[in-house]
Structure 1
Amino acid sequence: MASGPNYAEYSDRELVDAFESIDAESYPQRYQSLCELMESKQIVYKSDNNTYTLHDEYAHGVTDDWDESDLPTTQYITDAPEPQYDKDGNYIPNQVPLQARIVNSLFAIVIIAYGSYGVYFGELFVPIARNLSIIIYGPATVIMLLSIIAASLTMIIEIVDHYDTRDNEHTYYKFARISASIGVVSFIAAIVVGFSSGAEIY
């Protein structure tokens, strides 16, 4: 009787999940069978050193039967992550959509640059609410920059988690929570210090 999963019944997404999580050394025959099937479906290709590699459209991407909404995604700060596994018990790495990765990267760069600008010139315009903003001066800008760096770190952690396929998203979640907490506390402290040193309200 044949043992192991029946990869012929897997969807493309499930095949990629299995490919990325299978232990090739522990299950060499299962790995070879999986790779040969995926090669016949043009999901992977065999390189010169006889290793199998996902085609670009399958590596962290979406395919015809792979709806991005079906991918495990991170829920930073709000919800603790729940590890997900395929029907054979293989861990499915969580994914961060490409658009979110790009937005996170750009936003982190922009706000750090803006905060650094404020520290350099000694004043920083800070939106508080829809119709409320303040300008802080001196030491308050340095504290606000710390808050900005913490917020940026939270976004960067999310990106790093996307590329780390190990079952350790809880670690990233904890770091993100700590970073976010530092950001909130620093933001409040910056506002308090700002008002004590002559902040202007708009």
Structure 2
Amino acid sequence: MSDQLLPVTSLSQLIDGVVIKLGSALGWIWLLLIGVIVVNVISRYLFSEGFIELEELQWHLYATGFLLGLSYALVQDAHVRVDVFRSRWSEQTRAWVEGYGLLLLLLPFVMLVLIAAGPFVLYAFETSEVSQAPGGLPFRWMIKAMLPIGFVLLLLATLSRLSRVLCLLFGWPKPRAAQ
């Protein structure tokens, strides 16, 4: 469903603003990831010296960027869609499909991940989990904590999107007045 066609609600404006600011502020993670990859490749192939810390840092940065970027993509309507059927549907039908998708697919999935992520992160923190690789990064719980953080943001973005779809379909919550 095109983002321009969905009315903006007070809730969506607040959540979308936070997610967009956070996503924009954390965009540097991708540049840092590229830098780490380049340094790792140069050290490995020019100097025959590999660093497990850099390899682990690569996947830590990638996981952080991906998990925090999920909500940003949803808010910006930048996620991948299959438009084979959708292009022929009316806006009303698209809104219904979007609403059902959010309620029956995305929301339960997000809740399942959040329920499972809590004990996962807590166990890593309580046991002071570290990398099993010699010379690997410590504080494994920090990267694991990105899972619930990313999915809480995705939950908020889902609720924001759902409020916009409900506003289009039912007129509730009321759309935010244009400023």
TM-score, length of structure 1 as denominator length: 0.33
The structure with the greater share of residues assigned to helix is 2
Structure with higher Rg: it is 1
Q: Which one scores higher on RCO, CA 8 angstroms, separation ≥ 6?
A: 2
**Alignment TM-score, normalising by the size of structure 2:** 0.36
